[in-house]
Homo-oligomer: A and B are copies of this chain.
Amino acid sequence: MNTLSYGLLSLLAQSSYSGYDLMLRIQPFWPAKHSQIYPLLAKLEQEDYIRFELVPQRDKPDKKVYSLTGKGQEALKDWFDQPTAEPALRDEMMLKVFCMSYADRESARKMLADRLAYHKEQRRKYEHKLAELKEREGWPEAGLPAPSHPLFGAYLLTRKAIMSNETNTEWCKWVLSLLPEAD
Protein backbone atom coordinates (compact mmCIF):
# COMPACT_ATOMS: atom_id res chain seq x y z
CA MET A 1 0.00 0.00 0.00
CA ASN A 2 1.70 3.15 -1.23
CA THR A 3 0.51 6.76 -1.04
CA LEU A 4 -1.32 6.61 -4.36
CA SER A 5 -3.29 3.59 -3.11
CA TYR A 6 -4.44 5.52 -0.06
CA GLY A 7 -5.26 8.46 -2.29
CA LEU A 8 -7.59 6.29 -4.34
CA LEU A 9 -9.24 4.96 -1.17
CA SER A 10 -9.57 8.54 0.05
CA LEU A 11 -11.44 9.57 -3.08
CA LEU A 12 -13.66 6.50 -2.83
CA ALA A 13 -14.54 7.43 0.76
CA GLN A 14 -16.36 10.40 -0.69
CA SER A 15 -18.19 8.66 -3.52
CA SER A 16 -18.02 5.68 -5.89
CA TYR A 17 -16.01 6.23 -9.05
CA SER A 18 -14.80 4.35 -12.11
CA GLY A 19 -11.07 3.87 -12.63
CA TYR A 20 -11.16 6.50 -15.33
CA ASP A 21 -12.90 8.97 -13.02
CA LEU A 22 -10.41 8.28 -10.24
CA MET A 23 -7.55 8.86 -12.66
CA LEU A 24 -8.93 12.25 -13.65
CA ARG A 25 -9.87 13.34 -10.14
CA ILE A 26 -6.59 12.45 -8.45
CA GLN A 27 -4.49 14.45 -10.94
CA PRO A 28 -4.51 17.77 -9.01
CA PHE A 29 -3.36 16.04 -5.83
CA TRP A 30 -1.20 13.16 -7.02
CA PRO A 31 -0.42 13.11 -10.76
CA ALA A 32 -0.66 9.56 -12.16
CA LYS A 33 -1.30 7.94 -15.54
CA HIS A 34 -4.04 5.39 -16.14
CA SER A 35 -1.34 2.76 -16.63
CA GLN A 36 -0.46 3.17 -12.98
CA ILE A 37 -4.04 3.45 -11.70
CA TYR A 38 -5.62 0.38 -13.30
CA PRO A 39 -3.16 -2.25 -12.03
CA LEU A 40 -3.30 -0.65 -8.58
CA LEU A 41 -7.11 -0.83 -8.52
CA ALA A 42 -6.96 -4.49 -9.54
CA LYS A 43 -4.54 -5.16 -6.68
CA LEU A 44 -6.67 -3.22 -4.16
CA GLU A 45 -9.72 -5.16 -5.30
CA GLN A 46 -7.90 -8.49 -5.01
CA GLU A 47 -6.84 -7.57 -1.48
CA ASP A 48 -10.40 -6.64 -0.57
CA TYR A 49 -9.89 -2.91 0.08
CA ILE A 50 -12.35 -2.04 -2.68
CA ARG A 51 -14.98 -3.80 -4.79
CA PHE A 52 -16.46 -2.95 -8.17
CA GLU A 53 -19.71 -3.21 -10.02
CA LEU A 54 -19.73 -3.61 -13.80
CA VAL A 55 -21.85 -0.86 -15.32
CA PRO A 56 -22.80 -1.29 -19.01
CA GLN A 57 -23.20 1.99 -20.89
CA ARG A 58 -24.70 2.97 -24.23
CA ASP A 59 -22.59 5.23 -26.43
CA LYS A 60 -19.58 4.63 -24.17
CA PRO A 61 -17.47 1.60 -23.15
CA ASP A 62 -18.67 -0.29 -20.11
CA LYS A 63 -17.06 0.70 -16.84
CA LYS A 64 -16.17 -0.67 -13.42
CA VAL A 65 -17.55 1.44 -10.60
CA TYR A 66 -15.44 1.01 -7.46
CA SER A 67 -16.46 1.51 -3.85
CA LEU A 68 -14.80 1.04 -0.44
CA THR A 69 -15.15 -2.18 1.54
CA GLY A 70 -15.12 -2.27 5.35
CA LYS A 71 -11.44 -3.24 5.20
CA GLY A 72 -10.80 -0.24 2.96
CA GLN A 73 -12.49 2.11 5.42
CA GLU A 74 -10.39 0.75 8.28
CA ALA A 75 -7.17 1.08 6.27
CA LEU A 76 -8.10 4.68 5.56
CA LYS A 77 -8.58 5.49 9.24
CA ASP A 78 -5.27 3.87 10.19
CA TRP A 79 -3.46 5.77 7.45
CA PHE A 80 -4.90 9.09 8.59
CA ASP A 81 -3.23 8.77 12.00
CA GLN A 82 0.21 7.93 10.56
CA PRO A 83 2.82 10.70 10.11
CA THR A 84 2.30 12.57 6.85
CA ALA A 85 5.10 12.83 4.27
CA GLU A 86 6.40 16.25 3.33
CA PRO A 87 5.05 17.72 0.10
CA ALA A 88 7.21 17.26 -3.02
CA LEU A 89 7.00 19.87 -5.75
CA ARG A 90 8.81 19.26 -9.04
CA ASP A 91 8.69 22.19 -11.40
CA GLU A 92 10.97 22.41 -14.43
CA MET A 93 10.30 26.14 -14.61
CA MET A 94 11.91 26.74 -11.22
CA LEU A 95 15.08 25.03 -12.48
CA LYS A 96 15.06 27.26 -15.56
CA VAL A 97 14.63 30.37 -13.42
CA PHE A 98 17.90 29.51 -11.74
CA CYS A 99 19.85 30.20 -14.89
CA MET A 100 17.54 32.90 -16.21
CA SER A 101 20.24 35.56 -16.25
CA TYR A 102 22.00 33.56 -19.00
CA ALA A 103 18.91 33.24 -21.23
CA ASP A 104 17.37 35.59 -23.78
CA ARG A 105 14.95 38.16 -22.47
CA GLU A 106 12.30 36.98 -24.95
CA SER A 107 12.70 33.32 -24.00
CA ALA A 108 12.29 34.20 -20.34
CA ARG A 109 9.21 36.33 -21.00
CA LYS A 110 7.67 33.56 -23.10
CA MET A 111 8.27 30.99 -20.38
CA LEU A 112 6.52 33.17 -17.81
CA ALA A 113 3.67 34.10 -20.16
CA ASP A 114 3.09 30.40 -20.84
CA ARG A 115 2.99 29.68 -17.11
CA LEU A 116 0.62 32.58 -16.59
CA ALA A 117 -1.72 31.14 -19.24
CA TYR A 118 -1.50 27.75 -17.53
CA HIS A 119 -2.48 29.30 -14.20
CA LYS A 120 -5.37 31.15 -15.83
CA GLU A 121 -6.71 27.92 -17.31
CA GLN A 122 -6.26 26.10 -14.00
CA ARG A 123 -8.07 28.91 -12.21
CA ARG A 124 -11.03 28.50 -14.56
CA LYS A 125 -11.15 24.79 -13.71
CA TYR A 126 -11.00 25.40 -9.96
CA GLU A 127 -13.82 27.93 -10.12
CA HIS A 128 -15.83 25.41 -12.11
CA LYS A 129 -15.16 22.75 -9.49
CA LEU A 130 -16.23 25.14 -6.74
CA ALA A 131 -19.48 25.89 -8.57
CA GLU A 132 -19.99 22.15 -9.09
CA LEU A 133 -19.49 21.48 -5.37
CA LYS A 134 -22.08 24.08 -4.44
CA GLU A 135 -24.65 22.37 -6.65
CA ARG A 136 -24.11 18.98 -5.04
CA GLU A 137 -27.00 17.76 -2.90
CA GLY A 138 -26.46 18.32 0.80
CA TRP A 139 -24.48 21.53 0.27
CA PRO A 140 -25.47 24.04 2.97
CA GLU A 141 -27.70 26.89 1.80
CA ALA A 142 -25.54 29.45 3.59
CA GLY A 143 -21.92 29.39 4.76
CA LEU A 144 -19.44 26.52 4.54
CA PRO A 145 -19.94 22.76 4.94
CA ALA A 146 -19.31 21.56 8.49
CA PRO A 147 -16.15 19.49 9.26
CA SER A 148 -18.37 16.40 9.41
CA HIS A 149 -19.80 17.07 5.95
CA PRO A 150 -18.56 14.59 3.30
CA LEU A 151 -17.71 17.50 0.97
CA PHE A 152 -15.70 19.40 3.62
CA GLY A 153 -12.33 18.07 2.41
CA ALA A 154 -13.05 18.69 -1.27
CA TYR A 155 -14.04 22.24 -0.43
CA LEU A 156 -10.85 22.90 1.56
CA LEU A 157 -8.72 21.54 -1.26
CA THR A 158 -10.43 23.63 -3.90
CA ARG A 159 -9.92 26.73 -1.78
CA LYS A 160 -6.26 25.74 -1.32
CA ALA A 161 -5.82 25.34 -5.05
CA ILE A 162 -7.32 28.76 -5.68
CA MET A 163 -5.15 30.41 -3.03
CA SER A 164 -1.98 28.86 -4.46
CA ASN A 165 -3.09 29.75 -7.95
CA GLU A 166 -3.45 33.40 -6.97
CA THR A 167 -0.02 33.48 -5.34
CA ASN A 168 1.65 31.83 -8.33
CA THR A 169 -0.10 34.18 -10.73
CA GLU A 170 1.06 37.15 -8.69
CA TRP A 171 4.64 35.87 -8.74
CA CYS A 172 4.62 35.40 -12.53
CA LYS A 173 3.29 38.92 -13.05
CA TRP A 174 5.89 40.34 -10.68
CA VAL A 175 8.73 38.61 -12.54
CA LEU A 176 7.34 39.77 -15.89
CA SER A 177 7.29 43.33 -14.56
CA LEU A 178 11.02 42.96 -13.84
CA LEU A 179 11.61 41.83 -17.42
CA PRO A 180 10.31 44.68 -19.61
CA GLU A 181 9.97 43.93 -23.31
CA ALA A 182 13.10 44.85 -25.23
CA ASP A 183 11.27 46.15 -28.36
Q: Give me the interface of A with B, judged by CB distance under 8 Å.
A: 3, 6-7, 9-11, 13-14, 29-31, 73, 76-77, 79-81, 83-105, 107-108, 111, 114-115, 118, 144, 147-154, 156-157, 159-160, 163-164, 166-168, 170-171, 174-175, 178-179
B101 and A76 form a contact (CB under 8 A): no
Q: Is the CB of B156 within 8 A of A97?
A: yes
Q: Which of chain B's residues has its CB closest to A25's CB?
A: B98
Given known A-B contacts A99-B10, A167-B164, A30 and B77 have beta carbons under 8 A apart = no
- Main SS at interface, chain A: helix
Task: Find out whether the CB atom of B92 lies under 8 angstroms from the CB atom of A90.
Answer: no
Q: Tell me the smallest distance from the CB of A79 to a CB of chain B, in Å.
A: 7
Determine the distance from Cα of A181 to Cα of B30 in the docked complex, in whole angstroms.
30
Within 8 Å CB of A30, what residues of B?
90-91, 94-95
Told that A84-B115, A88-B91, A163-B167 touch, could you supply 13 new A-B pairs with CB distance under 8 A?
A10-B99, A30-B90, A30-B95, A31-B88, A31-B90, A80-B108, A87-B90, A89-B90, A98-B154, A98-B157, A144-B178, A163-B170, A166-B167
- CA gap between A73 and B168 in the complex, in Å: 29
